[in-house]
Amino acid sequence: MNTIDRYGDSDCFTLLLSDELTEFIEDYNTSFEPYAFCGLQSLVSVSLPNVTSLLDYTFGYCENLKDIYLPNCAVLGNEVFRFTGFQTITLPSVISISGSTFYNCPNLETVSLPNVKTTGSYAFGSCSKLQTIYLPEATSLQTYMFDQCVNLTNVYIPKVTSLYARVFNGCISLTTISLPAVSAINVASFYGCTALTDIYVPFASDSSSATNAPWGATNATVHYNTTFDEDGNPVTT
């Protein structure tokens, strides 16, 4: 057996906490049904070396879950980690995240997803303590992806070519952002980013990409024709 269905009654929750099942999860399981551990308050740490994907709500509302080991997981479904207890999370094997994957994780401060290419709407929405996001391979950011991430200050997205509607909606602590590969920005991508003062882009002010600048960031200066170094930082003179 390599699939666990949802644990929906008290007997199953008791079994989940047993040493036997913990070892089973760590050593044998390759997949879970949606909602498998949703709402399990006692779950703190999970090791799943063989899992290649997690379906919707697998660990949603496990608010004390603070540590997870997923060395081979490539795909995270909708709301997989919604309202979990992570402070920092690094998932080097993940290439795709879905809608609201980390929505409303109240303690989440730093995220590193070095190989993610595909993103989902509201993926980090309402993560009020999120400060740093590292997405070096992502090529687009979906609608409301960082909605109300009020402490977000560090964003590394060197390969993103498209920003959709209200990606950074209400990110009131964001002061500067570099977009070395961007060519399409929605009219309201930075709506409510009241502290955003500098947006660095590679295109010219008279190009079609500049339409509707500064894209909702009413206090921002757009720095056109910016040259960027190999790390994606603007080269200023």
Q: Report the C-alpha gap between 150 and 213 in whole angstroms.
A: 22
Q: What is the pLDDT of residue 28?
A: 58
Mean pLDDT, residues 162-182 taken together: 98
Report how far residue 48's alpha carbon sits from residue 50's, in angstroms, rounded to the nearest whole number: 6
- Taking a C-beta distance cutoff of 8 angstroms, is the pair 103, 83 a contact? yes
Pairing of strands 154-156, 162-163: unpaired
Contact of 47 with 23, CB cutoff 8 Å: no
170, burial (CB in 10 Å: exposed 0-12, middle 13-18, buried 19+): buried
For 11, the token pair is 């007997």
Predicted local confidence at residue 178, as pLDDT: 98
pLDDT band at 3 (very low <50, low <70, confident <90, very high): very low
Q: Residue 97: its pLDDT value, please?
A: 98
Q: What is the pLDDT of residues 17-50, one digit of tens each?
A: 443 334 335 555 677 889 988 888 888 888 888 8
The mean pLDDT value of the chain amounts to: 89
Q: What is the pTM of this model?
A: 0.89
